[in-house]
């Protein structure tokens, strides 16, 4: 085989390898996107089934243009308080906070105090029974939590709390 033939063979093999890499990468990407969509759909259907059966409540509130949402708290799983008559119930919440748009310094404080804020949510809900929580309005719960959270913030104040998930698991 001549040197020219070897170079031509190397180019051909390189092109074939590149095409295979592109095909594998595209297939992997398509599979991951499809799986992620299926997981989101399944979770949404499961939540809707729980809500339809009356075993869950989902609370959402819109945010205006003058506030921004802080979603970094994630999902918090906890147990409510128990009494002699009532057992503890598992609860899943996904809270997000509203704060003035464009306040980057305050966002940094929220990010720094993220674990403290999550702890406040946990202690609030863990200190109350399901009956106590069910007997309160969303507005009352959020006002109490806003007061507790704002007492620990120094660079600004949150203006609202909303829940993507607010589910009692019996």
Interaxial angle between packed helices 138-150 and 114-126, expressed in degrees from 0 to 180 and rounded to the nearest 10: 140
Rg, the chain, Cα only: 25
> How would DSSP label each residue in 98-165?
EEETT-HHHHHHHHHTHHHHHHHHHHHHHTS-HHHHHHS-HHHHHHHHHHHHHTT-SS----EEEEEE
**What six digits make up the tokens of 68?**
């921004």
pLDDT value of position 57: 46
d(CA 135, CA 113): 30
pLDDT value of position 47: 55
Question: Residue-wise pLDDT tens for the chain (170 aa)?
Answer: 788 888 888 889 899 988 888 899 888 877 777 765 654 455 555 555 555 555 444 444 444 568 888 889 999 999 999 988 888 999 999 999 999 988 889 999 999 999 999 999 999 999 999 999 999 988 999 999 999 999 999 999 999 999 989 999 87
Residue 59 in contact with residue 138, Cβ under 8 Å?
yes
pLDDT value of position 113: 95
> How would DSSP label each residue in 59-113?
------TTEEEE-TT--EEEE----SSS---EEEEEEEEEEETT-HHHHHHHHHT
pLDDT value of position 3: 80
pLDDT value of position 29: 79
- Read off the pTM: 0.61
pLDDT value of position 94: 93
């Amino acid at each position: 085989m001549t040197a020219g033939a070897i170079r031509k063979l190397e180019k051909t093999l390189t092109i074939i390898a590149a095409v295979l890499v592109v095909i594998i990468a595209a297939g992997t990407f398509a599979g991951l996107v499809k799986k992620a969509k299926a997981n989101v759909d399944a979770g949404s259907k499961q939540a809707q089934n729980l809500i339809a059966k009356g075993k869950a409540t989902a609370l959402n509130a819109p945010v205006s243009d003058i506030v921004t949402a802080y979603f970094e708290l994630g999902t918090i799983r906890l147990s409510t308080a128990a009494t002699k008559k009532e057992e503890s119930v598992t609860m899943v919440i996904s809270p997000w906070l509203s704060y003035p748009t464009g306040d980057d310094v305050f966002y940094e404080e929220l990010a720094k105090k993220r674990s403290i804020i999550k702890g406040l949510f946990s202690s609030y809900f863990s200190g109350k029974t399901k009956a106590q929580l069910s007997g309160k309005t969303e507005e009352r719960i959020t006002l109490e939590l806003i007061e507790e959270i704002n007492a620990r913030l120094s660079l600004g104040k949150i203006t609202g709390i909303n829940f993507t998930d607010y589910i009692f698991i019996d």
